Chains A and B, each alone.
Chain A
Amino acid sequence: MLEENEVRTLLEKVLGFSKATQTEVLFFGTDRSLTRFANSYIHQNVAETNTAVSVRAVLGNRIGVASTNKIDDDSLRDVVNRAVAIASVQPENPEFKSLPGPQPITLVNGYSAGTAAFGPEERANGVKIIVDRAVAKGYESAGAFETAVQQVVVANSLGVFANHIGTEAELHAVVMADAGGSGYAQRVSMDVGAFDFEALATEAVEKAAKSRNPIEAPIGEYRVVLDSYAVGEMLQYLAFMGLSAQAVQEERSFMNGHFGEKIAAESVTIYDDAFDPEGLPMGFDFEGAPKHRLALIDQGVAHAVPYDSFTANREGKENTGHALPSPNTFGPYPANLMMAAGAASREDLFKGIERGVYVTRFHYCNVVHPVRTLFTGMTRDGTFLIEHGELTRPLKNFRFTQSILETLTAAEAISKQRIQVRDYTTVVAPALRSGKFNFTGLTQ
């Protein structure tokens, strides 16, 4: 990681190399380590140190982007020249107005010294707790434990300068018992000190033990309790399908035509908050614009979508600070996605369900139809039958094909407790009881 004065000097040097109308330079510094285990031993243990510089050159309203992972003067001159050359050969884009100018940024702490200093022996010791707990029961375990420090710095020729150093720790484990039993646990935090390895091991091992000898249940529509892992992944796919100004402007979002209307149960509030320490805080986006807390679905009502500078300028709206790194064909994205907690205890979630299904997590989801918010995937690592308000039998995994908004509209109870989960993105999610979930297939 570079000190602020060092990185400022570096980025100013890059800006000085550019003769473009406007120039933006984005710096990434990465120290990332990952310990991977399977068959109850560590089979991959890797470390990466990297820097990357990406330059966005603007000539009038033509844009070129180039990047390098070298920071010597020759490489930096070359990356600027490539960005300018790319911009110069393309047609005008009249919809592009300007890079964002400087705005006050709220400082936020996303850094943990403990995570930054965490070494391979400490990761191995954490893994060993899980492996040993599984082995003691005669089970296998597999998973990964990652710790990372990431520096993101944005500067542009209009005067933007924003520097963030954040940390992230993620640990997940699948514990596999005999007779088809399987359990899962995951923890994500900026502070690895928050991880309770024993509790994580207990969660995965106990679920593996309870899910042995699963029975086959008929496919069809069930009331469900979706644990936080499943809810987090579902919300991630909802965001992919249309929680972006670009999707709305292109009229391909499920939000189109429904702003101000109820699209989920009143208990459902989904928002983006880059300042909540339960998530991975960062005060600005990848254009150096300040992030704003944004209610996306507010008490069931379609409320707003995130903007970056391009989509905000196109519509004359406020930039909410949700840009992804350029070049970005996806558009703005709610990278700090959260769902508001409810009032239910874990026991409350199961109350009143005569016959339903509890899902620990989903596996290999994919979008089937984005406007209908239809997605498919499998259940995995602990699927159980709920009878008379209690978990009674483990079930073989189902395939589902289900509308996310339909499930959120049928939400009946939301847990008090939330956890941060990570699939492609991180989401802070509670567990959820819903009256509607369509299981469409079974596996062997």
Chain B
Amino acid sequence: MQDLANTALNIALQLGASYADVRVMERTVESISVKNGRVEALSSSVDSGFNVRVIVNGAWGFASSARMDLKEAQKIADQAVGIAKASALVGGKLPRLSPLPPQRGSYVTSIKRDPFSVPLEEKVGLLLKADETMRSVKGVNIATGNMEFGRERKLFASSEGSLIEQTLYDSGAAIVAEAVGDGEIQQRSYPNSFGRQAGTAGYEFVEAMNLPEHGQRIGEEAVKLLTAKQCPSGTMTIILDGPQTALQVHESCGHPIELDRVMGMEAGFVGKSFLTIDKLGANFRYGSDAVSIVADATTPGGLGTFGWDDEGVPAQRTDIVKNGVFSGYLMSRDTAPELGLSSNGCVRADGWNRLPMIRMTNVSLLPGTWKLEDLIANTDEGLYLCTNRSWSIDDRRLNFQFGTEIGWEIKNGKLGAMLKNCTYTGITPQFWGSCDAVCDDWVVWGTPNCGKGEPMQVMRTGHGAASARFRNVQVGVGNWGQ
């Protein structure tokens, strides 16, 4: 591995690179899906290769290959240099890298039970048991469960003398009950929807979910939703549960603070950011005093936790929003100098064949002191909305619309009727500005499927979040024929 990296670095420098780095990566994934009492998919994949990234003539070049021998290392280094020279044809700014002393060391995710050593029968058995509890509820049409485990081994070496080895584990699982009625389909998920709840952890993370204990409850809720009241339309107070708050943070804070997006690098794809650089250090109010957000790659068990990022910058914590005031970005070595700053270690690639880019680490809303039951009791009228069902946000991360799997009316401080097809919409700073309470039920939620970049990269990010209350929010969007 080190020989391959050294060969590629030497060739790149000989061919004129002013900077070069090499990543050798191997990712192993085991994935299990069950549906209605049967195993729907069970797979194991191993994907490995290396890449070379160079700066030549003031432009970036990148090339990668799955073949890992010294001859291929020479070829790929040569290809990366050639691509950088082609990039230089269109001109542009000369990349400047923020300073970084040579990094040397290793990091391994702390796990109690290696998910790849747990017998497959045990994992499949746990999912099938949970599946059975969902299907024990009359009216559940589709019961599904899934687990996914990943192990990523990577070596990073740079022409500046860094040499880092890391082994990262991730584990996750979820179950979903779906009920189908006349022109209606409803679902409930546990612990989270759209994939799974996940963290950098071992199999103990999945065991702690107690999946079978929650199957019957979500099955019953899915069936009841078929005949539940339609979510009302209007402007009202809402309380979001932790998982929905986590996705709200992800979409309306995590993405707009990516400095490459702010600088227009994603403008040709999903768009830019309203958090333009003039707002940093200008006392820009992102949210209310109750809103404090950090990016922290050292959060224990967070899905965005590691030792060093994929540019060799150590994992660290950055204030993003302090008591409502915008305070910082997610940065790379080539974007931070534009603000006179240094990288805060937020660069990752989703595989050996992808260019590293700015990604969320664990972007978390800090917990408040409210108990959820006290917050509901403190709310005269509103909605309690739980578990994401759909999401969409505009190309500057301002106008968003979310749907949730389930909701309840809040009347006179008590939960009332169950609500289906709940949606809410808003404009990011106004919405966070209307947040007047954050609870203490703080959990680090994993988002295992964050898409960004071209070619698309899917990254694993974490979000500490708690239930939170927002005032004057538009709910019940669209024509539901009622």
Interface on A for B, CB 8 Å cutoff? 32, 34-52, 54, 62-70, 75, 79, 82-83, 85-87, 89-91, 93, 95, 119-121, 123-125, 127-128, 131, 140-144, 146, 172-174, 176, 250-252, 326-329, 363-372, 374, 376-378, 380, 397, 399, 401-403, 438, 440-444
Contact = CB atoms under 8 A, between A and B. Distances in A.
Nearest to B146: A329
A32 B423 CA distance: 40
B40 interface: yes
Interface stretch (B106-114, B261-269, B284-292, B310-318): B261-269
A251 B180 contact: yes
Nearest to B481: A372
B91 interface: yes
A371 B455 contact: no
A378 B399 contact: yes
Contacts of B84: 45
Given A140-B264, A329-B33, A443-B399, A39 B92 contact: yes
Q: Which of B33, B393, B398 has the most CB of A within 10 A?
A: B393
A438 B45 contact: no
Contact of B477 (A36, A90, A140, A440): A440
Given A86-B120, A441-B477, A46 B355 contact: yes
Contact of A69 (B49, B121, B480): B49
A175 B337 CA distance: 26
B454 interface: yes
Nearest to B428: A444
Contacts of A141: 268
Contact of B43 (A64, A176, A372, A440): A64
B90 interface: yes
Given A364-B392, A397-B394, A67 B264 contact: no
B403 A250 contact: no
A369 B477 CA distance: 12
Contact of A44 (B62, B392, B403, B474): B62
Interface stretch (B63-71, B199-207, B237-245, B433-441): B63-71
B86 A121 contact: yes
A47 B62 contact: yes
Given A65-B41, A120-B83, A363-B271, A368 B478 contact: yes
Given A41-B91, A86-B44, A146 B454 contact: yes
B43 A142 contact: no
Given A43-B92, A65-B42, A440-B478, 16 more contacts: A37-B268, A44-B60, A45-B59, A45-B84, A46-B64, A50-B49, A120-B87, A174-B267, A250-B141, A326-B41, A329-B33, A364-B395, A368-B389, A371-B183, A399-B425, A440-B425
B66 A50 contact: yes
A144 B184 contact: no
A50 B477 contact: no
Given A68-B45, A252-B178, A327-B43, A91 B455 contact: no
Nearest to B393: A364
Given A70-B48, A368-B390, A45 B180 contact: no
B40 A438 contact: no
Q: Which of B270, B401, B474 has the most CB of A within 10 A?
A: B401
Nearest to A36: B454
Contacts of A378: 392, 394-395, 399
